[in-house]
Amino acid sequence: MREYLFLKHHTLENWRSLAETTHSSQFERLLRQANSHHDDLPPSDHPSDSITYIGTVVLNLALAHLLAGDSAHLDAARRWIKSAIAYPHWGKERMPDHDLDAAWLLFGLGLGYDWLKDALPSSERDDLRDKLILQGKKLYDFALATEGKWWSSAYWQNHNWICYGGLATAAYALCDEYSEAGAWAALARDNFVQALSYMPEDGSNYEGPVYWRYGVIWFLIYADLLQQETGEDLHDSEFLRNTFFYRLHLSGPNLVDTANFGDCHDRRSAHTAAVYARLAGLYNIGEAQRLYRHFYRTGEWQREGAQGLVKPGLWAESGLEFLWYEPEVEESPVVALPRIRAFADLGLVAMRSSWNADAVAMAFKCGTPNGMKAWHSGHALNHSRGWQTLSAGHDHPDANGFIIIKGDDYLAVDDGYAKEKRTRHHSTLLIDGCGQYAEGTKNAFRGLDETWGARLEASHEFDDVVYARGEAARAYRRDLELRQFTREALFLEGEAVVFRDVISADVPHCYDWLLQTDEPPEADGHGCFTIKSGATACRLHALQPKGITHQVHEQEITANPTSAKPDWVISNTQYALALRPSESRKDCSFFVILDLAGFTISSAQADRGLVACLIGDERRWQLGFATGKDGILTEDLNVDGRWFAGRRTNGQLDQLLAGEVTNMWIDGALHFVSDRPVDVALNWSTANTRVSITALDTTWVRFKSSKPSSDSCNGRNGGVHYDAPTGMAWVQVQAGKTEIAVG
């Protein structure tokens, strides 16, 4: 029985049976896509535009013919194949024959050749085979000739994955007829094995959610192809296993919008039905299955298919979606997932107040270009082999930047796609008007060595409160003599976001603290500003430094997403609120609060540290940050930690949180003590006490509690002791995170 390339999970008869049963909806979409190409053809002359879509057109038409047996699909496929063969080069404006256009066509026409060669007239079959050999050889020769320079060895770049994926597909389609095809397949295999080993285990992708949607599919294509052809399994990859959650946690509250770090064509073109179906099936990810089906139920796939800016686009992937759909995977609700996820390699922390559509979501980013693993592995390759393999053109100089979305409304925005990558487009810091890295060009990291790079220092979740800290001094030019740019961010239940920045340099500078918005902020006086977006408004309070000045800059940001289409330009306007101390200085501290809940906010007198109060109708927050190693001290607060947050609800103290702390005294009473610094959250209710502790080593801790009738540590009963005279519970915790419940 004839076996078909990329269809070996089932016989052709089984595929046809699935098309009539469990995959009937996916099959209908495939037929609709195939039918849409019956009466149109690409231009007779190669356009000044990408022709990648021709590959997916042939794939979908050929698959529709195999499954439905309709000669109209075959006739249309033949016309499209003839048009593609007639082009002397695959690609016109950008690297003809040597880049994405050639790769996509090798993929789609390679599958089309295998699937249709029994039905094609011999002359057409020979013409297609010869064209695949010609174009495959050009791509293969280019890969060898440019090793260590461009996509050939740029393991972290979508061009690498796409070009080798297309080359491998053509190789397997031709291997019985062209002896050199084995060398193509071997080169592609070695590349993907290497590339997967270099990808971050947390599943993140520095190119951002839109290019994630465009590029990661090729890891899945290739791994599926390789396993079917050779039996070698590349799917045991932590990157692939976790990458869906990177995309999910960068979704806005409505799950459609995105936290659009990196180059993003817009804020929505970042979902892919085929990838969600594949990841759900491969790793039994019920949340991926839920999102895949949810978007059909809500009409989001229809919108994305019609309006998405990433090409070839959603509907072009209909054939892959059909082949990868696994109906037996049960849906799992995303609401059961944690509301925070840290992607440490990229330096990204994503958080939200809930999984509801009206929630507040925030993404905080402070990482190394390309991600920590890629940046240093790439430089190690460069040093050892004399290569220039790193290409971070889709990353941005945005260390210590953030995006905040409430419901459908963006309160703190990012620039998306930008021709010139500039820090002034991000919510971070300018120094004497200068930004980070080699800003101002398409690739803000070209030519920089391994001594550059910001890092995420900490991230902790305490129920509805999230703390994150980034250090970005090494993101700026050395001649600025910057020694520290530490940003601490506290996300308070989606009701407020607090930023504390500590900046230190050897020479005086003008520092501009930036907030990017869609609409110009309105100054209210005394360091307060109103930020409006859609139906949402929030207030920014600049508590430090004193005597701050401000400006609002209107910025027009443009980009040409692909040089394959020179006349395609996207643009958007955003506004930058710049807060600046009244005079230059070496050291500077910013203390800024974004209020989303209508608190009354004020600074508090402190003997040590910076302290603020947020007062609402029912809740009162007291927040503090140490300014040195001497902790935080006020009339009613004595904490030796790095930061502190205390909450009272209807006057009752019910939550304490602190970082790098050994003791907390509130209103003259001891509430917590530890023999080593820990990060801690204490929550009290009428029923119980809950404690979350993150320790670097085995540590004894004591905390205020009523006498327990039951207790547990990390789900195991027992281990907590009670000291009646002091009203304190005590327990020994191990290194790592410990969850304690006392009832």
Write the CATH number for 253.
1.50.10.100
Residue given tokens 């060898």 in the structure block: 144
Angstrom distance (rounded) from CA 442 to CA 420: 5
Question: Is residue 193 located within the same domain as residue 210?
Answer: no
**pLDDT band, very low/low/confident/very high, at 296 (cuts 50, 70, 90):** very high
Angstrom distance (rounded) from CA 101 to CA 56: 11
Question: Is residue 194 located within the same domain as residue 214?
Answer: no
Angstrom distance (rounded) from CA 255 to CA 407: 10
Question: Is residue 186 located within the same domain as residue 150?
Answer: yes
Question: Is residue 460 located within the same domain as residue 553?
Answer: yes
Within a domain: residue 178? yes
**pLDDT band, very low/low/confident/very high, at 711 (cuts 50, 70, 90):** confident
Q: How many domains does the chain have?
A: 4
In one-letter notation, the amino acid at residue 107 is: F
Angstrom distance (rounded) from CA 139 to CA 157: 17
Structure confidence by residue, pLDDT tens digits, 254-293: 999 999 999 999 999 999 999 999 999 999 999 999 999 9
Which of these three, 139, 165, 198, is where a domain ends?
A: 198
Within a domain: residue 89? yes
187 dihedral zone (left: phi>0; alpha: psi -120 to 50; beta): alpha
Structure confidence by residue, pLDDT tens digits, 564-574: 888 899 999 99
Question: Is residue 369 located within the same domain as residue 321?
Answer: no
Question: Is residue 109 located within the same domain as residue 143?
Answer: yes
- Domain containing residue 205: 201-337
The average pLDDT across 442-447 equals 94
The dihedral through the CA atoms of 668, 672, 678, 684 has a sign that is negative
The average pLDDT across 213-227 equals 98
Question: Is residue 674 located within the same domain as residue 735?
Answer: yes
Question: Is residue 499 located within the same domain as residue 542?
Answer: yes
Question: Is residue 303 located within the same domain as residue 318?
Answer: yes
Within a domain: residue 725? yes
Closest of 194, 236, 242 to residue 216, by C-alpha: 242
Within a domain: residue 612? no
Beta bridge partners of 499: 489, 592
Percent of the chain topping pLDDT 90: 93
Give per-residue burial for 99-108: e unless 16+ CB within 10 Å, then b: bbbbbbbbbb
- Write the CA distances from 602 to 71, 437, 439, 634, integer angstroms: 74, 36, 37, 14
Within a domain: residue 624? yes
To the question of pTM greater than 0.95 for the whole model, the response is yes
Please tell me whether the peptide bond between 312 and the residue prior to it is cis, using omega within 30 degrees of 0.
Answer: yes
What CATH number is given to the structural domain containing 733? 2.60.220
Asked if residues 644 and 660 have their Cβ atoms less than 8 Å apart, the reply is no
Angstrom distance (rounded) from CA 310 to CA 210: 8
Question: Is residue 511 located within the same domain as residue 645?
Answer: no
The average pLDDT across 404-411 equals 98
Which of these three, 304, 337, 370, is where a domain ends?
A: 337
Tell me which DSSP letter residue 434 carries.
Answer: B
Angstrom distance (rounded) from CA 553 to CA 520: 8
Residue 14's contacts (CB-CB under 8 Å, 6 or more residues apart) are none
Structure confidence by residue, pLDDT tens digits, 175-205: 999 999 999 999 999 999 999 999 999 999 9
Closest of 714, 720, 726, 725 to residue 743, by C-alpha: 720
What CATH number is given to the structural domain containing 539? 2.70.98.70
Q: Is the pLDDT of residue 686 over 80?
A: no
Within a domain: residue 611? no
Radius of gyration of the chain (CA): 28
DSSP letter string, 338-400: -SEEEETTTTEEEEES-SSTT-EEEEEE---TT-HHHHHHHHHHHHHH-------TT--S-TT
- Residue 12 has which token pair? 């052709």
Please tell me the predicted confidence (pLDDT) of residue 525. Answer: 81
Within a domain: residue 610? no
Distance from first CA to last CA of the chain, Å, rounded?
67
DSSP 3-state of 23: coil
Provide the mean pLDDT of the chain: 96
Asked if residues 149 and 446 have their Cβ atoms less than 8 Å apart, the reply is no
**pLDDT band, very low/low/confident/very high, at 463 (cuts 50, 70, 90):** confident
Question: Is residue 188 located within the same domain as residue 258?
Answer: no
Which of these three, 282, 305, 337, is where a domain ends?
A: 337
Closest of 319, 249, 304, 224 to residue 27, by C-alpha: 319
Within a domain: residue 57? yes
The dihedral through the CA atoms of 1, 184, 219, 125 has a sign that is negative
Question: Is residue 315 located within the same domain as residue 345?
Answer: no
Q: Is the pLDDT of residue 709 over 80?
A: no
Asked if residues 552 and 521 have their Cβ atoms less than 8 Å apart, the reply is yes
